[in-house]
Amino acid sequence: MQKLPKAVRRLIEKFERLPGIGPRSAARLVFYLLHNPSSELEDFADRLLALKRDTVMCDHCHNIAEHNPCSICTDESRDRSLLCVVEQPLDLLAIEKSDHYHGLYHVLHGSIAPLNNIGPDQLYLRDLLKRLDGVRELLLATNPTMEGEATALYIKEMITHASMDNKDQLQITRIGHGLPIGADIEYADGMTLARALEGRRQI
């Protein structure tokens, strides 16, 4: 690695920080880019910069979007009595592709994971309580992992101990059958997600 040009080494190190990218994959990506025309690299660099420049986080649901509030939160055809809690924006996109859910969302941007020093305060959990007025069903669609289950239970307990006018009318459900334990929502196909949404249960 030390014999490589500094620019190559530094970019390999950056790619290695990406999830799922090891040293060999990082090196392959860098050398692939190195053999591309300068115009392609400039376009690639501009799109990377646009990732932050042209996106915002929705103040309501915390989804990543082009405008604030996002197109889902401003869509008057959505059922505002349904609110689905997901861990990541990619989970939201996966559920949207199933075409079986037409309510609103709340994106936590993670799950409670004490081993990784991620607690409730690092997630958008407190904002959730402010959005429950008028909601009749809260669907907890966190991943069926230990962290996802712990987050779902924390949300249920948080609502149980909260001061809310509509607490007795609020039904809390958990995403149901169709997703294997240990799987991520992001990688599920539309049919699997459709069955999971149809089979949700009260917790």
- pTM for the full predicted model: 0.81
Domain boundaries for CATH 3.40.1360.10 within the chain: 78-202
User: Fold for domain 78-202?
Assistant: Dna Topoisomerase Vi A Subunit; Chain: A, domain 2 (3.40.1360)
pLDDT per residue, tens digit, the chain (203 aa), is 568 999 999 999 999 999 999 999 999 999 999 999 999 999 999 999 999 999 999 999 999 999 999 999 999 999 999 999 999 999 999 999 989 999 999 999 999 998 889 999 999 998 999 999 999 999 999 998 889 999 999 999 999 888 777 777 899 999 876 677 777 888 888 877 887 887 777 77
Return the CATH number of 6-53, one of 3.30.70.1400, 3.30.565.10, 1.10.645.10, 1.10.8.420: 1.10.8.420
Rounded Cα distance between 87 and 71, Å, is 19
* H-assigned helices in the chain: 6-16, 23-34, 38-53, 89-98, 126-129, 146-160, 190-198
DSSP label at residue 170: P
Angle, vertex CA 95, rays to CA 59 and CA 195, nearest 5: 145
- How big is the chain, counted in residues? 203
Domain boundaries for CATH 1.10.8.420 within the chain: 6-53
